[in-house]
């Protein structure tokens, strides 16, 4: 029936469930497991999980490295959770906020037998929900009956994994004229992804010629920099500088992608900032949280440009990864336009780290 939810819709439902502290049922092959986010876990639900059977904690290899836990599954570690484990102990393994005060959290026993496929799916779901990449899993025998009895969302691994790894299709929703400080001839386009995630925006300056390379920028949302004027990054000056240059030239497209904190979300970005206050650089902070250097999906930008009729760009960026992504997805980069603005005493170390560890051309 067409009224039945598709897997894309089930994944959207699962993300909401996990953020609210509800578990979801994951199925793959002959196995199934109940999975719940550590970040939103309550003492009552932890007690119920421990009563169901052996509980394991899924952590990324990045987080496991900080904890000195063995990651036998290469990209993740499955930690055996003792039957008497407390919520505080479990959350301390997932959240590095108190690592320096209590660095010794072991001994930790990593599981190495059996498949890690459902644990890997659980971590992917946590990331897509902008939660800490840590989940508790407990095996269940009859997934359909269990999910039906408790009213839980069921996710089939074979159908879900391709959707979580690919870029969700985007559709134009609305567009209207928007005079701005940078250019009175402005227009704002709204694009909505099929997977229920955040909408993305395209700011069109003037009437760019679709037959020529357009001056373009892929700008990731930065609430702290763009709105609050944070001095910890150069995002605000880059946003305003890019729009100003497009206004001066009379044409351009700025794509405002809602991928806060390099794709980890504002809450996790604040966690990373707190770690930076402890002395870790921006990359180290992300790793301690369990994330990679950069979790953003720049394919979204290429999809929007093509939807708007552009096939080549003069890309305003210092990030070579954006150039490589554009070329890979069929948008030609005719020129890289440097955007070196906003350096100050507060972000000098941050910019140096981006250059040294992420290859930014500064």
Per-residue pLDDT, 1: 61
Per-residue pLDDT, 339: 87
SS3 assignment, position 286? helix
Per-residue pLDDT, 106: 77
Per-residue pLDDT, 358: 67
Secondary-structure breakdown of the chain: helix, strand, coil percentages, each rounded to the nearest 5: 40, 20, 40
Q: Are 67 and 287 in contact (CB under 8 A)?
A: no
Question: Which residues are catalytically annotated?
Answer: 294, 296
Whole-number Å distance between alpha carbons of 355 and 234: 13
Residues 119-151: b if buried by 16+ CB within 10 A, e if exposed: bbbbbbbbbbbbbbbbbbbbbbeebeebbeeee
Looking at the DSSP assignment, which residues form a beta bridge with residue 33?
A: 26, 139
Q: How many whole angstroms from its chain centre is CA 235? A: 18
CA-based angle 93:99:105, to the nearest 5?
Answer: 50
Provide the pairing of β-strand 31-37 with 24-28.
Answer: antiparallel
Tokens of 258: 């809602």
Whole-number Å distance between alpha carbons of 19 and 152: 14
User: What pTM, to 2 d.p., does this model score?
Assistant: 0.93
Sequence-ordered alpha helix ranges (H) in 290-340: 299-307, 320-328
Residue 218 backbone dihedrals phi, psi, to 5 degrees: -95, 110
Q: Per-residue confidence of the chain (362 residues) as pLDDT tens digits?
A: 688 999 999 999 999 999 999 999 999 988 999 999 999 999 999 999 999 999 999 999 999 999 999 999 999 999 999 999 999 999 999 999 988 887 778 789 999 999 999 999 999 999 999 999 999 999 999 889 999 999 999 999 999 999 999 989 999 999 999 999 999 999 999 999 999 999 999 999 999 999 999 999 999 999 999 999 999 999 999 999 999 999 999 999 999 999 999 999 999 999 999 999 999 999 999 999 999 999 999 999 999 999 999 999 999 998 888 899 889 999 999 999 998 886 888 877 877 887 777 677 66
In eight-state DSSP terms, residue 177 is E
Of 19, 53, 54, the C-alpha closest to 38 is 19
Per-residue pLDDT, 351: 76
User: Which residues touch 125 (CB under 8 Å, ≥6 apart)?
Assistant: 11, 14, 15, 18, 24, 35, 135, 155, 164
In sign, the C-alpha dihedral spanning 292, 170, 260, 348 is positive
Tokens of 219: 């700008």
Whole-number Å distance between alpha carbons of 81 and 86: 10
Whole-number Å distance between alpha carbons of 60 and 253: 36
């Amino acid at each position: 029936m067409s009224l039945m939810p598709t897997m894309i819709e089930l994944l959207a439902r699962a993300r909401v469930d996990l953020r609210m502290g509800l578990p979801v049922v994951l199925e793959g092959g002959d196995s199934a497991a109940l999975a719940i986010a550590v970040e939103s876990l309550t003492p009552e639900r932890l007690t119920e999980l421990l009563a169901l059977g052996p509980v394991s904690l899924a952590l990324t290899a990045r987080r496991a490295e900080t904890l000195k836990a063995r990651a036998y599954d290469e990209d993740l570690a499955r930690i055996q959770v003792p039957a008497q484990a407390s919520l505080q102990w479990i959350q301390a393994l997932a959240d590095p906020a108190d690592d320096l005060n209590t660095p010794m959290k072991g001994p930790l026993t990593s599981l190495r037998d059996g498949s890690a496929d459902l644990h890997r799916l659980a971590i992917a779901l946590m990331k897509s929900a902008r939660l800490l990449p840590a989940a508790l899993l407990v095996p269940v025998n009859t997934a359909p009956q269990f999910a039906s009895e408790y009213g839980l969302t069921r996710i089939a691994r074979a159908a879900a994994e391709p959707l979580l790894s690919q870029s969700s299709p985007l559709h134009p929703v609305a567009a209207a004229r928007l005079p701005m400080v940078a250019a009175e001839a402005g227009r704002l386009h709204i694009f909505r992804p099929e997977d229920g995630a955040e909408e993305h925006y395209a700011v069109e300056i003037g009437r760019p010629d679709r037959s020529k390379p357009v001056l373009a920028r892929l700008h990731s949302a930065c609430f702290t920099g763009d709105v609050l004027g944070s001095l910890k990054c150069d995002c605000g000056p880059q946003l305003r500088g890019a729009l100003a240059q497009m206004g001066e030239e009379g044409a351009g497209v700025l794509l405002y992608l809602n991928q806060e904190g390099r794709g980890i979300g504002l809450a996790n970005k604040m966690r990373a900032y707190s770690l930076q206050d402890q002395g870790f650089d921006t990359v180290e902070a992300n790793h301690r949280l369990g994330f990679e250097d950069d979790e953003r999906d720049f394919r979204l930008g290429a999809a929007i440009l093509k939807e708007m009729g552009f096939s080549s760009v003069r890309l305003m960026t210092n990030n070579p990864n954006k150039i490589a992504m554009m070329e890979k997805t069929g948008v030609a980069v005719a020129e890289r336009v440097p955007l070196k603005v906003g350096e100050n005493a507060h972000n000098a170390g941050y910019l140096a780290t981006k250059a040294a560890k992420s290859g930014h051309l500064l």
